[in-house]
Structure 1
Amino acid sequence: MDAARPPGPRGHWLLGNVADYERDRVSFLRRGHREHGDVLSFDDRIVFTVDPRLAHQVLKATNRDYVTEPAPFAGGAVPREAGEEIRPWMRARRVLRPALTGDAAACLDARTVAILDDVLDGTAGRSADVLPLMLGFTGRAVAELCLGPDAAGVPGLLAEVYAALLPFENAGYQLPPWLPSARRRRFVRVHRRVAGVLAGLVAARRGTAAGSPPDLLDVLLAARPAMGDGEVVSTLWSVLIGGHGVPAAALTSLVRDLALHPALATALAAEAGAPRGAGPRSGAGALRGGGVVRALLPVAEAVVKETLRLTPPAWTMSRIACVPVALGPWRLRPGDEVLSTPYLIHRDPRWWPRAEEFDPSRWRDARPAAGTYLPFGAGPRYCLGSVVALRQLTLAASRIAQRFDVHAPAAASAEPAFCGRLAPAGLRAEFRPRAHAAR
Structure 2
Amino acid sequence: MAQAEQRTRPPGPRGHWLMGNTPAYDDDRIGFLRRTHHEYGDVFAFDERTVFVTAPETAHDVLARTNTDFLTELAPFDARPDLGDAAGQAAAWMSARRTVWPGLNHTAAASADTRTVALLDELARPATAGEVDVLPLARAFTAHAIADYCFGRDAAGLPELLADNLDITEPFTASSYQFPAWLPLPRHRRLFRVHRHTVQTLTALVRRRRADPRPAAPADLLDFLLDADPAMSDSTVMATLRGILMGGHGIPAAAVVSIVRELAMRPELAADLRDEAGPGDAVPKARLPLAEAVVKEVLRLYPPVWLMTRTAYHPTTLANWSLHPGDEVLLNPYLIHRDPRWWQRPDEFDPSRWLTGRPAPRTAYLPFGAGPRVCVGSALAMRQLTLTTSRLAQAYTVASSNAVTAAPRFLGRLAPAGLRARLTPARRCPVTGAGGSR
TM-score by length of 1: 0.93
- 8 A Cα contact 1:317 1:339, kept in partner: yes
Is 1:19 equivalent to 2:23 in the alignment?
Answer: yes
- 8 A Cα contact 2:106 2:383, kept in partner: no
- Give the match for residue 424 of structure 2: 432
Q: What amino acid sits opposite 2:414 in the alignment?
A: L
Deviation of the 1:356 alpha carbon: 0.3
CA 178–210 in structure 1, closer or farther in 2 if over 3 Å, else same? farther
Q: 1:349 aligns with which of 320, 340, 352?
A: 340
- 8 A Cα contact 1:144 1:151, kept in partner: yes
- Give the match for residue 235 of structure 1: 240
- Give the match for residue 436 of structure 2: none
Deviation of the 1:181 alpha carbon: 3.2
CA 146–74 in structure 1, closer or farther in 2 if over 3 Å, else same? farther
- Give the match for residue 330 of structure 2: 339
Distance 2:79 2:314 in 1: 18
Identical pairs, percent: 52
Q: What's the secondary structure of 2:230's corresponding residue?
A: coil
- 8 A Cα contact 1:76 1:177, kept in partner: no
CA 220–332 in structure 1, closer or farther in 2 if over 3 Å, else same? same
Deviations 1:232-285 (A, max 9, x none): 2111111110100000000001001111111111111111123124x114xxxx
Deviations 1:73-111 (A, max 9, x none): 768414137631212211111111011113212111111
Q: What's the secondary structure of 2:317's corresponding residue?
A: strand
Q: 1:39 aligns with which of 35, 39, 43?
A: 43
Structure 1, unmatched stretches of 5+, are: 282-286, 288-295
- Give the match for residue 107 of structure 2: 103
Structure 2, unmatched stretches of 5+, are: 432-438
Distance 2:167 2:192 in 1: 13
- Give the match for residue 63 of structure 1: 67
Deviation of the 1:171 alpha carbon: 2.8
Distance 2:386 2:75 in 1: 30
Q: What amino acid sits opposite 1:225 in the alignment?
A: P
Q: What's the secondary structure of 1:227's corresponding residue?
A: coil
Distance 1:193 1:82 in 2: 23
- Give the match for residue 155 of structure 2: 151
Q: What's the secondary structure of 1:411's corresponding residue?
A: coil
Is 1:391 equivalent to 2:383 in the alignment?
Answer: yes
- 8 A Cα contact 2:251 2:305, kept in partner: yes
Q: 2:371 aligns with which of 371, 379, 383?
A: 379
- Give the match for residue 230 of structure 2: 225
TM-score by length of 2: 0.93
* Map 1:36-185 → 2, pairs under 5 A: 36-68=40-72, 70-72=74-76, 76-80=80-84, 83-177=87-181, 179-185=183-189
* Map 1:322-337 → 2, pairs under 5 A: 322-337=313-328
Q: What's the secondary structure of 2:309's corresponding residue?
A: strand
Q: How many residues align?
A: 425
CA 274–224 in structure 1, closer or farther in 2 if over 3 Å, else same? closer
Distance 1:360 1:248 in 2: 20
Q: 1:411 aligns with which of 396, 403, 412?
A: 403
Distance 1:69 1:196 in 2: 21
Distance 1:159 1:419 in 2: 17
- Give the match for residue 269 of structure 2: 264
Is 1:244 equivalent to 2:235 in the alignment?
Answer: no
Q: What's the secondary structure of 1:124's corresponding residue?
A: helix
- 8 A Cα contact 1:49 1:338, kept in partner: yes
Q: Which has the larger displacement, 165-174 or 373-382?
A: 165-174
Deviation of the 1:211 alpha carbon: 6.5
Q: What's the secondary structure of 1:7's corresponding residue?
A: coil
- Give the match for residue 214 of structure 1: 219
Distance 2:391 2:107 in 1: 20
- Give the match for residue 281 of structure 2: 276
Q: 2:413 aligns with which of 402, 412, 421?
A: 421
Q: What amino acid sits opposite 2:123 in the alignment?
A: V
Q: What amino acid sits opposite 1:84 in the alignment?
A: G
- Give the match for residue 292 of structure 1: none
Q: Which has the larger displacement, 313-322 or 205-214?
A: 205-214
Deviations 1:161-200 (A, max 9, x none): 1101112233323334455533222111001111111111
Distance 1:308 1:400 in 2: 17
